[in-house]
Each structure stands twice: as C-alpha cells, then as structure tokens.
C-alpha cells in the first residue's frame, strides 16, 4: 500500500511539475516583446542594408500635383482659396501675371503656406500645378 501511495504521489508530483512548466511557458510567451529595434546596418539583429535609391520618374504633371496637394483647399475654397474653375475668383489673380501667382504659390501668400504645405514638392511641380489651375479657371 505504501508503494502504491508513493507511486501515486510521484505521478502527481511529475504531472504538477509539467503543468507548472507549461504555465510558465505560456506566461513567457504572453509577456515576450513583440519586436525589437534595429538600426540600419546593425549586423547584430539582422537589419537590412540601406535601400537603394530609386530614380525619380521626373516631375509630376500639374493635375497630379493639384489632385495630391492643392485640391484640399482649391476645390472647397478653404481659408479663402480661389476654387478651380471659378473664373470670377481667379480673374484678378490671373491679371497680376503668372509669375506672381507662381511666386505666391512657392513662397506662400495670405493663408496659403509655402508650396501649399508640400515641403517636398520641387518648385517646378508647384509651377505646373499653378499653370493647371489657371488653365482650368479661365
């Protein structure tokens, strides 16, 4: 009887130990970090090398820049922006000359920030957008 009791206790002890190990593994899995921070070129954590620079396809067309940047204000009239297609709103501005309009668009004017807020747009794209808006508003 003592042997049976000893075997039963040993079996319970082994199964309880295995259950505790399983619970501890589950806890470790739940609190494990979801990722790690690797800096570019850091060989210790397997970070990828710097991506190769891709060649630009060239400047975007005026309507592409308008649709990406200018449309937010120039289609709604936000902050007093002239709406594209409204000849009355654009007439006096067009009379000042295209160079003035382009300068205002690049450098900012009244409520409009420089380059309409598109800091990474080159001047030639802003010029193309202005020319597009003027052509649509005559």
DSSP conformation letters of 26-70: HHHHHHS-S-----TT-TTTTPPPPPPPPPP--PPPHHHHIIIII
- pLDDT given at position 52: 58
Residue 123 lies in a domain: yes
The pLDDT of residue 57 is above 80: no
Compute the distance between CA of residue 53 and CA of residue 100 in angstroms, rounded to an integer: 35
Question: Given a cut of 90, is residue 11 above it in pLDDT?
Answer: no
pTM: 0.60
Average pLDDT, the chain: 84
pLDDT at 124: 95
**What integer is the mean pLDDT of 26-34?**
87
In a domain, 12, yes or no: no
SS3 content of the chain, % helix, strand, coil (to 5): 60, 0, 40
Q: What is the pLDDT of residues 68-112, one digit of tens each?
A: 999 999 999 998 999 999 999 999 999 999 999 999 999 999 999
Domain span holding position 94: 62-137
Coil, strand, or helix at residue 110? coil
How many domains does the chain contain in total?
A: 1
Question: Is residue 125 a contact partner of residue 68, using CB atoms and an 8 Å limit?
Answer: no
Examine residue 10 and state whether it is found in any structural domain, yes or no.
no
Q: Answer yes or no: is 119 within a domain.
A: yes
pLDDT at 113 exceeding the cut of 70: yes
What's phi and psi for 92, nearest 5 deg? -65, -35
Report yes or no: 48 and 40 within 8 Å, Cβ to Cβ: yes
Best CA proximity match to 35, nearest among 44, 45, 43, 27: 45
Decide if pLDDT at 37 tops 60: yes
Q: pLDDT tens digit string along 118-136?
A: 989 999 999 999 999 999 9
Domain assignment of residue 51, yes or no: no
pLDDT at residue number 2: 75
What values do phi and psi take at 109, rounded to 5?
-160, 130
- Indicate the pLDDT class of residue 43, thresholds 50, 70 and 90: confident
């Amino acid at each position: 009887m003592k042997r049976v009791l000893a075997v039963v206790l040993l079996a319970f002890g082994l199964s309880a130990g295995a259950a505790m190990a399983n619970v501890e593994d589950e806890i470790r899995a739940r609190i494990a970090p979801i990722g790690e921070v690797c800096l570019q070129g850091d060989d210790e954590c397997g970070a990828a090398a710097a991506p190769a620079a891709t060649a630009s396809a060239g400047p975007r067309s005026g309507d592409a820049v308008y649709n990406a940047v200018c449309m937010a204000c120039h289609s709604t009239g936000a902050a007093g922006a002239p709406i594209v297609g409204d000849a009355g709103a654009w007439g006096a501005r067009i009379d000042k000359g295209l160079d003035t309009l382009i300068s205002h668009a690049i450098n900012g004017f009244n409520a409009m920030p420089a380059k309409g807020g598109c800091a990474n747009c080159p001047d030639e794209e802003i010029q193309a957008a202005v020319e597009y808006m003027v052509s649509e508003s005559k």
